[in-house]
Amino acid sequence: MNPPDRNTLIETMRRHKICVLVPTYNNGGTIRDVIAGILDFCADVIVVNDGSTDETECILESFNDSVNIITHSENKGKGHALRSGFMEAARLGYEYAITIDSDGQHYPEDIPSFVRTIVENPGALIIGERDLSNADINGKSSFANKFSNFWFHLQTGRRLKDTQTGFRAYPLRKLHGMSLLTSRYEAELELLVFASWHGTKIIPIPIAVYYPPQSERVSHFRPALDFTRISILNTILCFAAILYGIPARIYNSFTQHRIFNKEFRLFTRKRGEKLDAAVTLCRIFRSIYGFSFFTFMATAVFSPFASIYFLKGKNSDRKKLRFHKMVRWGCELTTRNYPGARTTYENPSNEDFNRPALVICNHQSHLDLPLLIAMHPKLVFLTNDWVWNSPVFGNIIHHADFLPVSEGIENIMPRLRKLKENGYSIVIFPEGTRSPDSRVMRFHQGAFLLAKELDLDILPLVLHGAGHFLPKGSFLFRKGKLTLRIMQRTGNRELEELPFRKQASYFRSLIKNEYERLLRKNEDAEYFRSLVLYKYAYRGWSIVSRCKKELKKAFDHADIINCRNFGKVRIINGGIGVFPLLYALVNKDAEVFSYIEDAEDFRIASDTPALPSNLHFIHAVWNNEFGNEKDFDKTITL
């Protein structure tokens, strides 16, 4: 991947408050080239002159206008120099410090890699991992690195290949044990150990390394004294790991939600495929309750009652009507007990069903039938064979004069005429089936032929929300708001000049337009709250926790989500995708482009099942990767 130009790199570093920190001691032969090389990539540099006695101080004076210089009056050691540099960086408002040695072994060309990794992994400690396999490194240095790696693994339980590298990026707000740092170069190992104990993510990245000929190297390493001091320090750290490090790691595993952090596939997948919404325990319990209540009412109450009720006496029209009223009452009771749902009936034209009509309605879910039955007692339905032969409620609908379409219109026409004469309206779903996404599908012409044959007005209904509450192919309830709207009836004579195909098209458009109006009215941020939670549920403790936090923040700005935008919308810093997802679900007519810097957040957001087609997640790091503001109708920065 090509590195950005200097200006873009500087803009990105300043946006994320990143500086470069160079501790130096008697590196007069290399410090000029090191600083000049760093300035080719960034403009925010801090140099700590740790009491150098060579020409280092004179060289640094030539960079007074371009770098911040801290000078120690005497040599205090690399650990002390780092601490001074970190304190100065924090005072200047920086949140990250990239440290680079001043002996020339590190390449400033690797700075963009550090910046990218910082942006993609906020809060992580980044360490440059040298490939020492072909480097001209002396045996003492090689042993020191392996020695340090061993102690780090022993004290933290994790392995790193290069714990001695000085090319690192430190998150200044997550530095621990600063007051306990030793003054020499082993402080770098301490910083790694303390970070690991406190749950800071440590990410190694490959870097290039240059080792000059042995004769030209400047080393401040004193083998006997330094190995002794390091051994004593690591012994102390091992005891500290038992007394503090291990308990701290366990504590941080809980507080940072790092346990139970894998996807529970039993709840999120079916035959290996992602579910649109996770199977939660609440959904299971609500569904069991809802279907159990319905099944009990149908099989234990109404079905036996229907058999007994019609067993004796004459089946008069009045008796039939009483039964219809009881069925209506039962369905009304059932629809009121859909757990997690609220049902609303809208009747702006004050339809009273006193005159029979052919009632047509869009088809959304298995719940459509009881929702419509609960509307009025003088309704009969044309059903498919699955409904007609149902072992749960088949006996009820047989006695309620419902008729199976499979018998053929010619065969059931006499009974339909009789029902019309008795004041009953005929209900039919002209789509014939349900769509997976609840959209209104093509209407068949048979319903309108039936209206003409029976000389019935056409009464359109619009149902919204049932297909979201109980989607096609699922038997688990979600949460939702169900709305049934009764529209203005149309006299059959008004349409007799139109062919049936055009009548079907006309009423489909009528119902579709009204459905879209209800959609815009009902489908706000609150409507989709539970669906968003279901999409992140059981994907790991930390993801669920993040989802809840981001959802809470999203509802602090619900007015932005509910403003119904069109065109192209840019969302910057989209987190794990909760706000962009909610925004795209509510604003279906907008194309939403969510730019996410964090690599893990981008993976989580992109992995979310059944994303709407108008939502696009884009991974961006450098300032010039976030698109041009002029190309968007609206920009939202989170």
Q: What is the mean pLDDT of residues 173-187?
A: 80
Domain ranges of the chain: 6-256, 316-522, 558-637
pLDDT tier at 6, thresholds 50, 70, 90: very high
pLDDT of 339 reads 87
Q: What is the pLDDT of residues 445-492, one digit of tens each?
A: 989 999 999 999 999 999 999 999 999 888 899 999 999 999 999 987
Look at residue 216 and tell me whether its pLDDT is greater than 60. Answer: no
Q: Cβ contacts of residue 558 below 8 Å, gap of 6+?
A: 524, 525, 526
Q: What is the mean pLDDT of residues 541-548?
A: 93
- Write the secondary structure of 453-483 as one string of H (helix), E (strand) and C (coil): HHCCEEEEEEEECHHHHCCCCCCCCCCEEEE
Q: What is the mean pLDDT of residues 106-114?
A: 95
pLDDT tier at 226, thresholds 50, 70, 90: low
pLDDT of 593 reads 97
Q: Which alpha helices (H) appear in 5-45, and where do they start and end?
A: 6-15, 31-39
pLDDT tier at 140, thresholds 50, 70, 90: low
pLDDT tier at 568, thresholds 50, 70, 90: very high
pLDDT tier at 135, thresholds 50, 70, 90: low
Amino acid at 44: D
Pick the more confident residue, 4 or 2. 4
User: For the chain, what's the residue count?
Assistant: 638
Look at residue 138 and tell me whether its pLDDT is greater than 60. Answer: no
User: Structure pTM?
Assistant: 0.87
Look at residue 222 and tell me whether its pLDDT is greater than 80. Answer: no
Q: Minimal CA–CA distance to 118: which of 188, 174, 171?
A: 171
Q: Cβ contacts of residue 507 below 8 Å, gap of 6+?
A: 360, 430, 443, 448, 458, 460
Handedness of CA 309, 311, 313, 318 (dihedral sign): positive
CATH class of 6-256: alpha beta
Residues 479, 608: Cα–Cα separation, whole Å: 19
Q: Could you tell me the end-to-end alpha-carbon distance of the chain, in angstroms, rounded to an integer?
A: 27
3.50.50.60, 3.40.50.150, 3.40.30.10, 1.10.260.40: CATH of 558-637: 3.40.50.150
Q: Which tokens go with 623?
A: 């300032």
Q: Which tokens go with 158?
A: 């994790």
The region that residue 499 occupies, defined by phi over 0 for left and psi between -120 and 50 for alpha, beta otherwise, is: beta
- Write the CA distances from 131 to 3, 35, 134, 136, integer angstroms: 21, 23, 7, 11
Over the chain, what is the mean pLDDT? 90
Q: Minimal CA–CA distance to 129: which of 208, 203, 206?
A: 206
pLDDT of 434 reads 86
Look at residue 230 and tell me whether its pLDDT is greater than 80. Answer: no
The β-bridge partners of 357 are 457
pLDDT tier at 539, thresholds 50, 70, 90: very high
Give yes or no for a contact between 464 and 518, defined as CB atoms under 8 angstroms apart: yes
Q: Which tokens go with 591?
A: 């194309």
DSSP at 209: B
CB atoms within 10 A of CB 488: 10
pLDDT of 134 reads 64
Q: What is the mean pLDDT of residues 145-150?
A: 80
Look at residue 201 and tell me whether its pLDDT is greater than 70. Answer: yes
pLDDT of 392 reads 87
CB atoms within 10 A of CB 616: 16
Q: What is the mean pLDDT of residues 558-582?
A: 92
Look at residue 223 and tell me whether its pLDDT is greater than 80. Answer: no
Q: Which residue has the tokens 């042993």?
A: 143
Q: What is the dotted CATH code of the domain comprising 316-522?
A: 3.40.1130.10
Handedness of CA 221, 222, 225, 227 (dihedral sign): positive
Look at residue 101 and tell me whether its pLDDT is greater than 90. Answer: yes
Helix-, strand-, coil-residue percentages of the chain, each rounded to 5 = 45, 15, 35
Pick the more confident residue, 392 or 600. 600
Q: Which alpha helices (H) appear in 465-540, and where do they start and end?
A: 466-469, 500-522, 529-536
Q: What is the mean pLDDT of residues 108-119?
A: 96
